[in-house]
Structure 1
């Protein structure tokens, strides 16, 4: 059995999905959140919404000015939450679902608003990543200590990025450099099941040059991912990574920067016997920015991402899947007038795979042209986007987006948007032997969204209602006799509502969100009306923190309703809730000691059938930051 993110079985596991009514376990967690949230609404203090985000518009905009549903997780929040991996952070945001196959470092996938995991576009420092065979990005192999900030945009963004952005976009920014004298940082973590993490880095600059260098390592004994179904021992994980960024600004205003991220990992898993995968995740990129004229800014980009894996059964080599994505970009931002920005651009993408598996075609290109107009006048804001893609395998596609916002009062804004998107089939779906189907069509979607946002003296909140229709949804269909094939199964309709709240109350920082969604199969075949696979109908998160001088304490509650593990809705996975506790002591402005207990009540749950999740675990971290 090969690693799930890169094989048809992985596609089968993530293809469609969802759940039925929530279990009592979910409601206990939800009730606790509702009580704490209602108690805080009338006493919370204002938050600052001055984060600059770039993913929703491909230009730098204040988060409060974005018409899209955007969440931002910065370095301070990552360290406060004491997260162990990027997926642990992502699942705390509205409408984000994680499916994990057995503990740290194991095959994982992320879905946004009930869409498939390959409907989420993932960028690292602006570079498109993800396996071209499975369509998944190996975020489980991305070192959390190298991340500076994460931006999550919910809703389609094909009008800016082309294929894959049906459910949303996740962009991860690695640690940034800075000018001035060198500043070092370091951390060391020890935890349950021989969990050890070490990281260190330095950033600085001289004159107009700046740099950042960071290294990180992780090892864990892991858990027995599939008790009773494979080799009865723990399935470990090891990772070694490095990140380098360099930049220089010339006297004429030209700015050039480059970045390299590499993560090498080794992952043990059960396949009826002991098996393991050696994987490499790489991103490389060079950017140039200059202004030919005062209102005109140009950005040029050349980048490459690689996702490689060598798979072994015991000590015997089994298979290799190496995918590569090369991209070139040219973007022009033109200030037409105050509050009026026109963006014109083009990008070229080449996907290719090298493998021990014989793919009938192993390379394809995509050329895209896009335009966007951002405007603001009085209480009105708007965003208009249009893109045309010419895909070597699937022809030409035009997608668009229209967003509008109206400031009802100084503290209340109504927003609405409509958008279309498409997703080209993966190489597995097209050409994998005895599974691929070269006749399948691309998936397309139409999304409608309405929202209401408030920023008050007691805090901030947002409500978003969405409806996304996905046509020609690609699923793994059982042809009988143990034979599966990728096919277009007509349509899925995903409806939902998101509620998001953040504030400060009597010295306590609070952030909570609730998602209620209905992702259903609307195909004209058996299963019509069933819920899509592995998507809970209810998602709930609550983070509470407080500082007492040098000491800070916090807790995180995460709850999900039950879900179905198969398209026929006969294999149920129970809902669950987990509670994490954390504390921190600051010796001074440079040194901190952190402690965390995850899954305090040792909840037993699964996000994929037969794959056990990690139970109660404790972690102790020492952090150093030179000022």
Structure 2
């Protein structure tokens, strides 16, 4: 018997035995079957659960809130949520990623209808490529979620849930949004449900002239672009007990960077069959395929010489089977197993590379006593390129009354070394000749440079070249409480995430041209900890207030210990004096703000069929990178961005129940800021400034 099969049979036996012992404890109706669909989530447990009953920290962004804000892309709506920050890369114009509880975007898994999207050419996933005009809600699970979703869910999960057709009549909308920088966004949707068959179609087109954050340079920070999104879905009830879902999505984008070229394509196909074998047993069979392709060619505008080719072709195929079994009325066991086949063909790699892995997971969601809910689960991943991983998780919620509850969870997460960290073989000729090698090719790369006489000094022991990279791992803790009574709703959550074996770059050798050769190594031990507070208050039927605050501490443990031991120093750039750092001088990890705050006011005027909302997002100061060479952020670094607030306003009115006009401004106070990494004598802004928009939407 194989290891996978043995582990799977053991988990089935343990969970089945435990479930039978609990089946007589519950007498009430199953809450999973009786909830208002507007208040349920599926990502946290991979089953339908009421949001207010979960023992985990979860953020739900409903369709109505998205529509009222007037935003059109995933990154825009996420940036206004508590504990979620859109962070710029340290490089100017390097894009931005999403940060959850201080955990970087590399470790946050993004899903559409429960299946993953790919396309992380440099770690970050560009969330601006996801149109949100046809979604029902966005679900964000904070903290390690590898017990259900495996690699990349080390820091959390963002799941985009698309809406389903419900009306027998043909319904849909057509809309157009015009905004600053000649940003034009048109979309169209069509939905219908007739007896046992339903379908939906969504088409979106966006174009922009882009913008430039840096003055006096050639080109723009964001180049002019045009992109298209096409999403079609089919729903078919094969019988009373079997339901079929099929979906296809295609995204294409082109940038105007002549004489250079840059384009990307993102396509996926998703097929799922839900089978209710009995009143207590449900099977789900899923097949998913996705492909992400980019073609970039950098051309010298003077002599048209090709400076760099960067082609990227990533594919993922994943079949999965899930089994749900109810015991009694309130206890549910979930078992699942699946297979991942992933391949990447990239011009910066010596050859096409392939991963494959097998996984199984188990979860038991039960009510051991009347006021308590417990969820216990684990996942086992067997991967072709790194050690097998076991990711357990335990969470619990206790309702002291109808209004007050406490909840706690602890779980582990992991992230496998990615293709780039294993197979990258890159020399930047245009950038001075530095080289970067992935772990599996670094020995051959160094030997090639030695044979060519291009190595001046080898920094590492040759015996260490090519040593296996371990998967990055974390353990996350969350402890919270919620109070909901009348018009007031309050949630507070304390969190801590401890990380081991984070993959960092290291210098392998120095080249004869004065540049370095870089590789990857397991080195960093870091942690993030803090608290999140969400408060919602309904002043009256038409006026709602919401506020959120996050306090965050994020540190490298080794650097923290070195500072406390008095072995870390900094040089004052003014006096050139060398200063021993004290504990209070260590600011923390890059791109993390100690304080973030958001406030939202939503107001409705029913007699005018109008509404308005004002949203404020604040980030306190943060450092982009170490500038004085001691490997940490301290007061003598000059890479800090000052704290700032973004104020967004949207006004909407509906005419004749079908025609909606929405006007607004994002960054109403016209904040631009200044990037401290700009070269001397130049100015680089953090934000392009105020962005006005207007939108017309017609429902039918």
Same fold (TM over 0.5): yes
After TM superposition, the structure 1 = structure 2 runs for residues 206-605 of structure 1, keeping only pairs within 5 Å, are 206-231=194-219, 235-267=223-255, 275-314=260-299, 318-359=309-350, 362-376=353-367, 377-433=369-425, 434-438=436-440, 439-478=468-507, 481-506=515-540, 507-523=542-558, 531-548=588-605, 549=607, 550-567=609-626, 568-569=632-633, 570=637, 571-605=639-673
Counterpart Cα distance in 2 of 1:474 and 1:268: 35
Distance apart, 1:257 and its partner CA: 0.8
Secondary structure (helix, strand or coil) at the match of 1:222 reads coil
Secondary structure (helix, strand or coil) at the match of 1:545 reads strand
Check whether the contact 2:478–2:495 (CA below 8 A) recurs between aligned residues.
yes
Higher relative contact order (CA 8 A, sep 6+): 1
Aligned residue for 1:13? none
Counterpart Cα distance in 1 of 2:676 and 2:399: 43
Counterpart Cα distance in 2 of 1:49 and 1:241: 27
Secondary structure (helix, strand or coil) at the match of 1:118 reads helix
Distance apart, 1:131 and its partner CA: 2.5
Unpaired segments ≥5 residues, structure 1: 1-47
Aligned residue for 1:188? 176
Unpaired segments ≥5 residues, structure 2: 1-35, 426-435, 441-467, 569-585, 627-631, 679-683
Distance apart, 1:193 and its partner CA: 1.4
Distance apart, 1:56 and its partner CA: 0.4
Counterpart Cα distance in 2 of 1:560 and 1:210: 44
Listed one character per residue, the Cα deviations across residues 275-307 of structure 1 (whole Å, up to 9, x for unaligned) are 552011222100000022321100011001222
Cα 1:234–1:381 change in 2 (3 A) is closer
Cα 1:537–1:102 change in 2 (3 A) is closer
Check whether the contact 1:146–1:243 (CA below 8 A) recurs between aligned residues.
no
Cα 1:108–1:325 change in 2 (3 A) is farther
Counterpart Cα distance in 2 of 1:70 and 1:275: 43
Secondary structure (helix, strand or coil) at the match of 1:473 reads strand
Secondary structure (helix, strand or coil) at the match of 1:76 reads helix
Cα 1:467–1:347 change in 2 (3 A) is same
Distance apart, 1:152 and its partner CA: 0.4
Check whether the contact 1:231–1:274 (CA below 8 A) recurs between aligned residues.
no
Structure with max Cα Rg: 2
Distance apart, 1:164 and its partner CA: 1.2
Listed one character per residue, the Cα deviations across residues 463-503 of structure 1 (whole Å, up to 9, x for unaligned) are 00011100011123456634433222230011110001122
Distance apart, 1:395 and its partner CA: 2.2
Distance apart, 1:405 and its partner CA: 0.9
Counterpart Cα distance in 2 of 1:387 and 1:455: 34
Check whether the contact 2:651–2:662 (CA below 8 A) recurs between aligned residues.
yes
Cα 1:364–1:526 change in 2 (3 A) is farther
Distance apart, 1:101 and its partner CA: 6.3
Is 2:137 aligned against 1:78?
no
Secondary structure (helix, strand or coil) at the match of 1:79 reads helix
Counterpart Cα distance in 1 of 2:384 and 2:675: 36
Check whether the contact 1:85–1:143 (CA below 8 A) recurs between aligned residues.
yes
Counterpart Cα distance in 1 of 2:123 and 2:437: 15
Distance apart, 1:205 and its partner CA: 2.7
Counterpart Cα distance in 2 of 1:138 and 1:178: 32
Cα 1:384–1:431 change in 2 (3 A) is same
Counterpart Cα distance in 2 of 1:518 and 1:192: 36
Distance apart, 1:457 and its partner CA: 0.5
Counterpart Cα distance in 1 of 2:144 and 2:525: 17
Check whether the contact 1:101–1:225 (CA below 8 A) recurs between aligned residues.
no
Aligned residue for 2:687? 613
Cα 1:440–1:226 change in 2 (3 A) is farther
Check whether the contact 1:101–1:607 (CA below 8 A) recurs between aligned residues.
no
Distance apart, 1:106 and its partner CA: 7.6
Distance apart, 1:102 and its partner CA: 12
Distance apart, 1:238 and its partner CA: 1.4
Counterpart Cα distance in 2 of 1:309 and 1:476: 25
Cα 1:53–1:132 change in 2 (3 A) is same
Secondary structure (helix, strand or coil) at the match of 2:555 reads strand
- Decide which moves more: 524-533 or 229-238: 524-533
Secondary structure (helix, strand or coil) at the match of 1:143 reads coil
Aligned residue for 2:452? none
Aligned residue for 2:49? 61
Check whether the contact 1:133–1:353 (CA below 8 A) recurs between aligned residues.
no
Listed one character per residue, the Cα deviations across residues 516-552 of structure 1 (whole Å, up to 9, x for unaligned) are 1111111369788652221222111111111123221
Cα 1:148–1:458 change in 2 (3 A) is closer
Q: Work out which of the residue numbers 106, 111, 115 in structure 2 matches 1:127.
A: 115
User: Could you say what the CA RMSD is over the residues aligned between the two structures, in angstroms?
Assistant: 2.4
After TM superposition, the structure 1 = structure 2 runs for residues 81-96 of structure 1, keeping only pairs within 5 Å, are 81-96=69-84
Distance apart, 1:512 and its partner CA: 1.6
Check whether the contact 2:54–2:397 (CA below 8 A) recurs between aligned residues.
no
Structure (1/2) with the larger strand percentage: 1
Check whether the contact 1:275–1:313 (CA below 8 A) recurs between aligned residues.
yes
Cα 1:234–1:371 change in 2 (3 A) is closer
Check whether the contact 2:90–2:625 (CA below 8 A) recurs between aligned residues.
no
Listed one character per residue, the Cα deviations across residues 98-145 of structure 1 (whole Å, up to 9, x for unaligned) are 124699x98331121111211101111111112265443332211232
Counterpart Cα distance in 1 of 2:83 and 2:228: 31
TM-score normalised by length of structure 1: 0.87
